[in-house]
Amino acid sequence: MPAQSLRMSRPGLILKLRCHDQPGIVAKIANYVAGHRGNLVEFNQFSDPLGGKFFARLEIETHDLDVDVQDFIDGFGTLGRSLHADWHFRRLPYRMRTAVLVTKTDHCLNEILWRTELGELPIEITSIIGNRDNCRPIAEHSNIPFHQIDMDGGQRGPGFVEIRRLIESQNVELIVLARFMQILPDDFCRDFGGRIINIHHSFLPAFIGANPYQQAYERGVKLIGATCHYVTADLDAGPIIEQDVERVQHFHAPTDLVRLGRNCERIAIAKGIRYHVHDRTIIDGHRAIVFPD
Amino acid sequence: MPAQSLRMSRPGLILKLRCHDQPGIVAKIANYVAGHRGNLVEFNQFSDPLGGKFFARLEIETHDLDVDVQDFIDGFGTLGRSLHADWHFRRLPYRMRTAVLVTKTDHCLNEILWRTELGELPIEITSIIGNRDNCRPIAEHSNIPFHQIDMDGGQRGPGFVEIRRLIESQNVELIVLARFMQILPDDFCRDFGGRIINIHHSFLPAFIGANPYQQAYERGVKLIGATCHYVTADLDAGPIIEQDVERVQHFHAPTDLVRLGRNCERIAIAKGIRYHVHDRTIIDGHRAIVFPD
Amino acid sequence: MPAQSLRMSRPGLILKLRCHDQPGIVAKIANYVAGHRGNLVEFNQFSDPLGGKFFARLEIETHDLDVDVQDFIDGFGTLGRSLHADWHFRRLPYRMRTAVLVTKTDHCLNEILWRTELGELPIEITSIIGNRDNCRPIAEHSNIPFHQIDMDGGQRGPGFVEIRRLIESQNVELIVLARFMQILPDDFCRDFGGRIINIHHSFLPAFIGANPYQQAYERGVKLIGATCHYVTADLDAGPIIEQDVERVQHFHAPTDLVRLGRNCERIAIAKGIRYHVHDRTIIDGHRAIVFPD
Amino acid sequence: MPAQSLRMSRPGLILKLRCHDQPGIVAKIANYVAGHRGNLVEFNQFSDPLGGKFFARLEIETHDLDVDVQDFIDGFGTLGRSLHADWHFRRLPYRMRTAVLVTKTDHCLNEILWRTELGELPIEITSIIGNRDNCRPIAEHSNIPFHQIDMDGGQRGPGFVEIRRLIESQNVELIVLARFMQILPDDFCRDFGGRIINIHHSFLPAFIGANPYQQAYERGVKLIGATCHYVTADLDAGPIIEQDVERVQHFHAPTDLVRLGRNCERIAIAKGIRYHVHDRTIIDGHRAIVFPD
């Protein structure tokens, strides 16, 4: 069921849809696609028996369509509205315009850059924004504009105004917090809802907030983890996209947890971004439906 | 997408289907179900871009069908034949008639019995067959007929004739080799193809054959495993349903690997049987499509 | 470094020791053992650079001792006191007298019984105590006395008095809460400190308290877990011995999490008990040093 | 028991030792250290009951030694010889001179470079050697000499002569095959025995040789893996240092396995190198004793 990397670079469409569950819904959607000679290369759906909702993701090859791609998209509206659905089409190939926010540590940023160059992440990084200057050399080596924005003390408010200005002027679609050590203002979270991805260096909901590795050490856990999640105004409580864990023992000091935890953080943030950019996630309240690849 | 245990005990149908991939196939199948007011509670499919095949599993609630269930099943034939498909319907609720073959060790047998009693495995164990007598007390405690069949030396041939007679007379649908330390005759494998599940105590294809934990120790692996797979005439080479691993270190002697490996064996065989009995597996040559729950 | 099961049944000693870290401590302890011709088959130690403490576990074969075993034990006192250490000797072979407390669900109890029979857990279960009657048949099948003690409403206080009476009259050394759905009184936790092991069906410190699988479902985690820990008066906050996790997806309903989580619970409680009974754990404040095997 | 990164950069010694197991050996070694006021910050040992051997790794702070460090090292000879031991001292801090051999893919090379810069791997990369030119830009960005050495067809023999010349002229202590797609000549393996580390992109001993991900796909495994091991003349059969696995499903094409497997390869090679460079490995025939941190 997965989109392979290559597939994302061929002409086609992804359709994401959410509505109340109802009889015949799969048939109706599949009929629309087949009726226009769309080739369904992947079709994931989930009928939630508890919430009464229906979620679907379709990946459609469009070279044999009997109408223009835009007409195919527009024409779906009649069905979509009759289902009272939320839906979204994305044309392939595409690269999602992405801003990466950082502070000092660079392992998540490095991971994102490396996977982008490798073709694993179809994103275009429009800018790297730091409230510290540490990551500037990495940005410059990758020829990506770096913006240092002071956010200490009274600069926090104006700082976020500046970030918002940058992001809006660059038509950014995705904001990645790659170990960005600042709490976002509520209105920022709200306005960019579902478009901000964070990596938290613990196995949420354990160890919310500051210094999770120190907390993990003090609690004496036998597994540490990392969580990639959507950001909401509720700190570290947004819908989880991906989590990863690693086994630890009593002899691991907090500095060891930091070292081993980086492995989890890098894997989890890379998978989380990939799922989002490939439209493999659908937010449903506090949870995220994820169709992994 | 999973069938919950409860769901399996409600009236309904499971449809498994395999055919060459072709345009509109999802729509055609979904239309048939919706056209008769079947309620699709789960629909998994896989369009294999490499093999050009299409695989699907549907779970259908039937209380609102506009025809008899048998008519619904029969009526699918027209579509199934036009797709040149292999397909299979199963009526729910059901319990699969199962024979368990054992030798001396009982941990896998115990696991199967325990999960059956708990309701995790919708099977009816018609008999437990051992080439040794060790597991008789467990069978008797569970009120399941135990048959000891000698298979040493020249008794091997007659032994398998007797097993076959038992299995056929009891209308057994599934044969589980729960650490059964005998190699099945080729014709036996062939005649019960796709209906024999084995647990091998290694991470296949590593350590095929005898004493895999000893082999693993000598090779110095850092992870041991267990593999639940369909049995074919090719030793330990049948389609894999499920695998599980556990981390080990240099200080683990072969007896430790046996101890730790039991954890993997029990989990893997239990999941493998469940997937098979819930029709979540489709064999495709040397591989198995598995829609896990 | 591990004790193999067989080894635990041979004559010998386990020495556990904790003190402030200090120069030459390993040499002093090893000298004492070697000086009396003890054969050190396993020697684990941990010098904690953060806490300034030293922890050790020694497994000693005693057949070549130049003194009586009791004299060897007594003679260590001079060294132990000079190190200002806490220490403890245990003679092998031994079986730890254990009471298991249960409510309704029996999977952890079953696991403990099965592993005990198999020889994995060197314990003698003196009694199974339930605040419900559900587990009585299992206890009776294993020929272990079952005591139902009502703990509802006003019966809670008298119930724990009765449990304490039973445990003390049977010289119980270890109390295992095998999904016992009652919170222990503070004085009970204190009086049996370091001798009560619980399994909590979440990846602590996430989802403390009631219905952790429901909490996990609502939070949308991608991994569920189980935690085996010592019980203190602080609910679900005692030193962690072992944790295990399993990957889940959005389609897993709470009932699926219960089903999959049982796998984690059974493995974690079995390992936790084994480590405790083999003296592989040393409690250090909120943490547990664990030398796994 | 682990060396933390910081610790490796402080003055001190690591002692690795292997000999036949014998009474009092721990006491003798610990006495030598304590007798000269060495501070034992970590002491791992393993008495192998099956092979009758004893293995140890000691990490010793030397600031309080009552003799020169060199005298301490030399003085150990008397004890070492009396134990008929192989032993090795390493002075801290140190950085191991390392050559990295590559072909086309760069993810393992990148990982090594990144972790070296971060301080996780105390190595000094003297040169990067490729039989293709693909990794030259990465080498140049890191200011490390890159040598392209043609090894196709008849150039293979002269190529390895050239590699050997480079390595010897640079006093290389460790050779890392970071996805180097050439089989080393037997004499090369022999001459640099225990000093060549390879990453194989499968869970060895499964899928030895070429195209392991394709092999894994065709076999239909449910977990893929990577293995970091010492190189011997026996292809992919040298002592294993570290292995890592990731779960896959039927829908993962070989290209997906390549993508997901990179995660395992990068983690396993990084851990394997770290264990080697921190002297946490002791080769014992076909196996490696590893004291992880």
Report the gap between the CA of B293 and the closest CA in chain C (Å).
Answer: 7
Residues D38 and D66: their CA atoms lie apart, in Å, by 8
Identify the pLDDT of residue D70: 98
Give residue-wise pLDDT tens across range D232-248: 988 888 999 999 999 99
pLDDT grade, residue B4 (50/70/90)? very low
Comparing C-alpha atoms, which of C35, C95, C40, C47 is closest to residue C62? Answer: C40
Task: Judge if A136 and A265 occupy the same domain.
Answer: yes
Residues B160 and B265 occupy one common structural domain: yes
User: Scanning the structure block, which residue is given the tokens 């390392």?
Assistant: D98
pLDDT band of C147, cuts 50, 70, 90: very high
DSSP A207-234: S-SS-HHHHHHHHT-SEEEEEEEE--SS
Using the Cβ of C161 and the Cβ atoms of chain D, whether some distance falls under 8 Å is answered with no
The 10s digit of each residue's pLDDT in C268-291 is 999 999 999 999 999 999 999 999
**Is it true that the peptide bond before C205 is cis, omega within 30 degrees of 0?**
yes
**Which of C110, C120, C293 is opposite residue B114, by nearest beta carbon?**
C110
Residue D200 to residue D207: CA distance in whole angstroms: 9
Q: Are A158 and A210 found together in one domain?
A: yes
- Looking at residue C7, its pLDDT comes to 56
Nearest CA in chain C to D64: C23
Instruction: Name chain B contacts of D207, Cβ cutoff 8 Å.
Output: 205
Which entry of B106, B186, B187, B236 is annotated as an active-site residue?
B236
Q: Which residues of D4-28 are buried (b: 16+ CB within 10 A; e: fewer)?
A: bbebbeeebbbbbbbbebeebbbbb
| Exposure letters C212-236 (e unless 16+ CB within 10 A, then b) | bbebbbebbbbbbbbbbbbbbeeeb
Those residues whose C-beta lies under 8 Å from the C-beta of residue C54, and which sit 6 or more positions away, are: C17, C18, C19, C20, C21, C22, C25, C45, C46, C47, C48
Same domain, B135 and B240: yes
- List chain B residues with CB under 8 Å of A46: 1
Q: Which residues contact A74 (CB under 8 A, 6 or more apart)?
A: none
Query: What confidence category does residue A2 fall into, taking pLDDT thresholds of 50, 70 and 90?
Result: very low
Contact (CB<8Å) D27/C43: no
Using pLDDT thresholds of 50, 70 and 90, give the confidence band for residue A5: very low
Check residue A2 and report its DSSP letter: P
A120–chain D Cβ distance below 8 A for any pair: yes
> C290 CB contacts (<8 Å, ≥6 apart)?
A222, A249, A250, C241, C242, C275, C280, C281
B65, B92, B119 - which closes a domain: B92
Please check whether residues C76 and C168 belong to one and the same domain. Answer: no
D271-284 residues labelled b (16+ CB within 10 A) or e (exposed): bbbbbbbbbbbbbb
Please give, rounded to a whole number of angstroms, the shortest distance from the CA of A194 to a CA of chain B.
24
Could you tell me if D1 lies within 8 Å of chain C, comparing CB atoms? yes
What pLDDT does C211 receive?
Answer: 94
For residue A7, the model assigns a pLDDT of: 56
- The whole-number average pLDDT for the span A204-229 is 96
Assign residue B253 the CATH number of its domain.
3.40.50.170
Chains that touch A (3 or more CB pairs under 8 A): B, C, D
pLDDT for position B1:
33
In chain B, count H helices and then E strands: 9, 13
Of B5, B252, B256, the CB nearest to C255: B5
Q: Strands A12-20 and A86-92: what pairing?
A: antiparallel
Residue of A1, A7, A40 with shortest CB distance to B26: A40
pTM of the model: 0.96
Same domain, B159 and B24: no
Comparing CB atoms, the residue among C24, C41, C46 nearest residue D49 is C41
Q: Is A33 on the interface with B (CB under 8 A)?
A: yes
Nearest partner of C130 among C167, C109, C165, C102, judged by Cα: C102
A220 to C288: CB separation less than 8 angstroms, yes or no: yes
Decide: helix, strand or coil at residue B203: coil
Q: What residues of C are labeled active site?
A: 236
What are the pLDDT digits (tens) for A264-284? 999 999 999 999 999 999 999
Coil, strand or helix at B184: coil
> Average pLDDT, whole number, for chain A?
95
Q: Which domain holds residue B83?
A: 3-92
CB contact under 8 A, C286 and A218: yes
Nearest CA in chain A to C286: A219
Q: Verify whether the Cβ–Cβ distance C263 to B259 is below 8 Å.
A: no
Confidence class for position D8, pLDDT limits 50, 70, 90? low
Could you list the beta-strand ranges (E) of B83-215: 86-92, 96-102, 123-130, 146-148, 174-177, 196-200
Q: What is the pLDDT of residue C116?
A: 97
Reduced to 3 states (helix: H, G, I; strand: E, B; else coil), residue A195 is: coil
Contacts of D243 in chain B (CB under 8 A): 221-223
Which among D27, D28, D46 is the nearest to C1, CB-wise?
Answer: D46
Instruction: Give the Cα separation of C150 and D51 in Å (integer).
Output: 55
Q: What is the ipTM of this complex?
A: 0.94
Average pLDDT of span D182-198: 96
**C259 and chain B in contact, CB less than 8 A:** yes
Percent of chain D with pLDDT strictly greater than 70: 97
Which of B 57-76 lie inside 8 A of A, CB atoms?
A: 64
Give mean pLDDT, residues D79-103.
Answer: 97
CA C206 to chain centre: 21
d(CA A80, CA D151): 60
The percentage of residues in chain B with a pLDDT greater than 70, rounded to a whole number, is: 97
**Paired residues of A99 in beta bridges:** A127, A175
Tell me the pLDDT tens digit for each residue of A105-115.
999 999 999 99
Find where tokens 């405690």 sit. Answer: B141
Q: Are residues D36 and D172 in the same domain?
A: no
**Per-residue pLDDT reduced to its tens digit, C202-218:** 999 999 988 999 999 99
Q: What is the pLDDT of residue D7?
A: 56
Contacts of A212 (CB under 8 A, 6+ apart): A200, A201, A202, A206
Dist. CA C197–CA C201, nearest whole Å: 13
Please report which confidence band the pLDDT of residue C8 belongs to, taking 50, 70 and 90 as the band edges: low
pLDDT, mean over chain B: 95
Joined tokens for residue C270:
């079995």
Whether residue A275 sits in one domain with residue A180: yes
Q: What pLDDT digit, counting tens, does each position of A145-187 carry?
A: 999 999 998 999 999 999 999 999 999 999 999 999 999 999 9
Residues in Cβ contact with B188 at an 8 Å cutoff, skipping those fewer than 6 apart: B160, B163, B164
Q: What angle do CA D6, D10, D14 make, to 5 degrees?
A: 100
- Whole-number pLDDT of residue D3: 38
Long-range contacts from D209-217, C-beta under 8 angstroms, 24+ separation: D209/D235, D209/D236, D213/D254, D213/D257, D213/D258, D213/D261, D214/D254, D216/D257, D217/D252, D217/D253, D217/D254, D217/D257
Q: Do C239 and A253 touch (CB under 8 A)?
A: no
Contact at CB, C39 and D23, closer than 8 angstroms: yes
Tell me whether D79 touches chain C (CB under 8 Å).
no
From residue D126, alpha-carbon distances to C261, D100, D120, D177 in Å are 50, 8, 17, 14
* B231-244 pLDDT, tens digit each: 998 888 899 999 99
**Contact status of C223 with chain D (Cβ, < 8 Å):** no
Give mean pLDDT, residues C222-229: 98
Query: What is the chain D residue with the closest CA to B241?
Result: D222
Chain D contact for A1, CB < 8 A?
Answer: yes
Cβ–Cβ below 8 Å for A245 and C245: yes
Which is higher by pLDDT, D127 or C1?
D127
Domain ends where: C39, C63, C92? C92
Look at residue A1 and tell me whether its pLDDT is greater than 90: no
C43 touches chain B (CB under 8 A): no
**Confidence grade of residue D5 (pLDDT, cut at 50, 70, 90):** very low
- pLDDT of A100 reads 98
Interface contact flag, B4 C118, Cβ < 8 Å: no
CB contact under 8 A, C40 and D46: no
pLDDT reported for residue B234:
86
Contact B149, B163 (CB under 8 A): yes
**Domain end: B92, B127, B143, which one?**
B92
Q: Nearest CA to C137 among C164, C159, C109? A: C109
| pLDDT surpasses 80 at A209 | yes
- For B151-183, what is each residue's pLDDT tens digit? 998 999 999 999 999 999 999 999 999 999 999
- Indicate whether D253 and D283 sit together in one domain: yes
Q: Is B287 an 8 Å CB contact of chain D? A: yes
Q: What is the pLDDT of residue A4?
A: 43
Distance separating alpha carbons of residues C13 and B256, to the nearest angstrom: 20
Contacts of A141 in chain D (CB under 8 A): 141
Region label for B86, one of left (φ > 0), alpha (ψ between -120 and 50) or beta (otherwise)? beta
Residue of C nearest to A237 (CA): C219
DSSP lists the bridge partners of residue C59 as C14, C42
Give residue D11's pLDDT band: very low, low, confident or very high (50, 70, 90): confident
Are D107 and A118 in contact (CB < 8 Å)?
A: yes
Rounded CA separation A266/A182 (Å)? 19
CATH of the domain at B30: 3.30.70.260
Confidence band, pLDDT 50/70/90 cuts, at residue B56:
very high
Burial call D66-103: b when 16+ CB within 10 Å, e when fewer: eeebeebbeebeebbeebebebebbebebebbbbbbbb
> Inter-chain contact B2–C255, Cβ cutoff 8 Å?
no
Closest chain B residue to D244 measured between Cα atoms?
B223
pLDDT for D209: 87
pLDDT in tens, D110-148: 999 999 999 999 999 999 999 999 999 999 999 999 999
Fill in the amino acid letter for A87: W
**CA C285, C290, C291: angle at the middle one, nearest 5?**
150
Asked if the bond preceding C254 is cis, omega within 30° of 0, the reply is no
Nearest chain C Cα distance for residue B164, angstroms: 32
Mean per-residue pLDDT, A181-197: 96
How many other CB atoms sit within 10 Å of the CB of residue C6?
A: 11
Contact A251 D1 (CB under 8 A): yes
User: Phi/psi at C18 (nearest 5 deg)?
Assistant: -140, 135
Mean pLDDT (whole number) for A47-63: 95
Q: Which residue of C has its CA nearest to A221?
A: C240
User: How far is C252 from chain B, CA to nearest CA, in Å?
Assistant: 7
Please report the sign of the dihedral spanned by the C-alpha atoms of residue C274, residue C279, residue C280, residue C281. Answer: positive
Closest CB to C46 among A222, A243, A251: A251
Predicted confidence at residue D175, as pLDDT, reads 98
Buried/exposed D139-163: b ≥16 CB within 10 Å, e otherwise: beebebebeebebeeeebeebbebb
B46 vs A contacts (CB less than 8 Å): 1
Q: From CA B210, how far away is CA B231, in angstroms rounded?
A: 16
The pLDDT-based confidence of D167 (bands split at 50, 70, 90) is very high
**Confidence at B8, pLDDT banded by 50, 70, 90:** low
Residues facing B156 on adjacent strands: none
Catalytic residues of A: 236
DSSP category for residue D236: T
Same domain, C87 and C132: no
B143 touches C at CB < 8 Å: no
Measure in Å the smallest separation between the Cα of D32 and chain C Cα atoms: 9
Give residue B10's pLDDT. Answer: 76
Picking from C116, C264, C293 by the largest number of B CB atoms within 10 A of its own CB, the best residue to mutate is C293
Same domain for B159 and B180, yes or no, is: yes
CB neighbourhood size of C40 (10 A): 23
Answer yes or no: do C46 and A222 touch at CB < 8 A: no
State whether residue D257 sits within 8 Å of chain B by CB.
no
Looking only at the bridges linking them, the beta strands covering B96-102 and B123-130 are parallel
Q: What's the pLDDT tens digit per position in B250-277?
A: 999 999 999 999 999 999 999 999 999 9
Residues 6+ apart with CB under 8 A from C268: C199, C226, C227, C228, C242, C243, C244
Q: What is the Cα–Cα distance from D12 to D35, expressed in whole angstroms?
A: 16
Convert the pLDDT of each residue in A226-250 to its tens digit. 999 999 988 888 999 999 999 999 9
Tell whether A9 and A149 lie within a shared domain: no
Residue C5 has pLDDT above 50, yes or no: no
Q: How many CA atoms lie within 13 A of B163 on its CB side?
A: 32
